[in-house]
Amino acid sequence: MSVKKFMYINRKAPYGTIYALEALEVVLIGAAFDQDVSLAFIGDGVYQLTKGQNTEAIGQKNFSPTYSALGDYDVNKIYVEKESLEERGLTLDDLQHLVWEDEDDDWAEKDSIRLVSRAELTDVLDEQDVILSF
Amino acid sequence: MKFSIQVNEGPYQHEAADTAYQFARAALAAGHEIFRIFFYHDGVNNATRLAVPPQDDRNISAQWTALAKEHDLDMVVCIAAAQRRGLMDADEAKRQGLDADNIAEGFRISGLGQLIEAGIESDRLVVFGD
Amino acid sequence: MALLHTVNKSPFESNTFDTCLGLAKDGSTILLIEDGVYAATTGHSVAEKIKNASGISFAVLGPDLQARGLEDKLADGIKVVDYEGFVNLVTEHDSVQSWL
């Protein structure tokens, strides 16, 4: 099976619509296929990664803890667009600290989130083979 | 070329299902192959057998069934999305202890892996949604 | 790698068009479909943005223009394609990014 660069685009906020949750479900299943996986959080998509989500009062399942499991699924290239954070008055500190363990580096814990500028993200997107949008 | 198509929205609510259908027809007319059409999110509702739209308008589910039959297409409905929205085939309905099924001919229910496989095996994957 | 980007939202309704424009590399193509075709018309700031994005090719899905009665409001320099042309654009580019 050939290895392709898969990019999952996340541009929507969580809970207002189902796209964030169901996109994550694709990522988790897709992880089993050993492809070169990246996620991009752009625009309102950055809100999916914020800390402190409490969904009890709206009666929906809080699926935000699932993002911290991505590292265990070898999904560790998580691009967050800097301009999208800034436009929304957010910083990296407002987001969950997502990590993965690099088995090629004595299981050292590394950051999964790559804060990139729009220009850098443009280049990343341009390299992708399969781009999934939700 | 080998195409796969992802349909994220249900019939009528968004133009996505229509555009996907027209794209699929055009691709086939041009001699391309469609590896798979994968229905996700509300897109699973394209697979209903029970729609009765007005007579003077297109019947989207029936169009998909006819296209699949004519070209022997693989149209897959995501099981997780289908279960959430109540789209059932006979086996799944029985498994879940439900008293009815509603899937139209030409569609089959399967896992998200089918979407990933479509991305891997196809030359191009095109997503239609909202 | 040259991407084909599709945009299906009116630029007046959502930021999808702007987001796409900001992340499309020079040499890529943006195809306006569904409600996205409104960006292909004249007489507004979006038309200026398209004119200024000189490194990017723009195309618009004819059937969606016709459906919305916009054919005589089409801006210059935007290629009109039908569904067959849409398919061709997909084959001519390395990958497709659908901006929803």
Mutate to test the interface with C, among A83, A125, A131 (most CBs of C within 10 A): A125
Residue from the list A43, A127, A129 with its beta carbon closest to the beta carbon of C19: A43
Chains contacting A (3+ CB pairs below 8 angstroms):
B, C
In a domain, C81, yes or no: yes
Banded model confidence at residue C12, pLDDT cuts 50, 70, 90: very high
Following DSSP, what letter does each residue of A75-122 receive, concatenated? ---EEEEHHHHHHTT--GGGB---EEEEGGGTTEEEE-EEEE-HHHHH
Q: How far is A96 from chain B (nearest CA, A)?
A: 26
Q: Tokens 């990343």 sit at which residue?
A: A124
CA C37: distance to chain centroid? 7
Phi-psi region of C27 (alpha: psi -120 to 50; beta: other; left: phi over 0): left
**For the domain that residue C64 is a member of, what is the CATH number?**
3.40.1260.10
For A1-10, A84-93, C50-59, which range has the lowest pLDDT when averaged over its residues?
Answer: A1-10
Count the domains in chain C.
1
Domain that holds residue C10: 3-95
Put simply, whether B40 touches A (Cβ < 8 Å) is: yes
- Whether pTM > 0.95 for this model: the answer is yes
Determine the average pLDDT of the residues in A115-132: 98
Domain that holds residue A117: 5-133
**For the domain that residue A125 is a member of, what is the CATH number?**
3.40.1260.10
Question: Is B78 known to be catalytic?
Answer: yes
Residue from the list B8, B41, B119 with its beta carbon closest to the beta carbon of A6: B119
Count the domains in chain A.
1
Angstrom distance (rounded) from CA B60 to CA C43: 36
In a domain, C100, yes or no: no
Q: Is C56 exposed, middle or buried (0-12, 13-18, 19+ CB in 10 A)?
A: middle
Angstrom distance (rounded) from CA A78 to CA A116: 10
pLDDT of residue C1: 76
Domains in chain B (CATH in brackets) are 2-128 (3.40.1260.10)
Put simply, whether C4 touches A (Cβ < 8 Å) is: no
CB contact under 8 A, C23 and A133: no
pLDDT (tens digit per residue) in A92-107: 999 999 999 999 999 9
CB contact under 8 A, A35 and B120: yes
CB contact under 8 A, C23 and A118: yes
Q: Which residue of chain C is at minimal alpha-carbon distance from B34?
A: C87
Q: What is the 3-state secondary structure (H, E, C) of chain B?
A: CEEEEEECCCCCCCCHHHHHHHHHHHHHHCCCEEEEEEECHHHHHHHECCCCCCCCCCCHHHHHHHHHHHHCCCEEEEHHHHHHHCCCCHHHHHHCCCCCCCECCCEEEECCHHHHHHHHHCCEEEEECC
Residue from the list B1, B15, B22 with its beta carbon closest to the beta carbon of C91: B1
Mean pLDDT by 10-residue block, N- to C-terminus, for chain B (130 residues)?
A: 98 98 98 98 98 97 98 98 98 97 98 98 98
Query: Mean pLDDT for chain B?
Result: 98
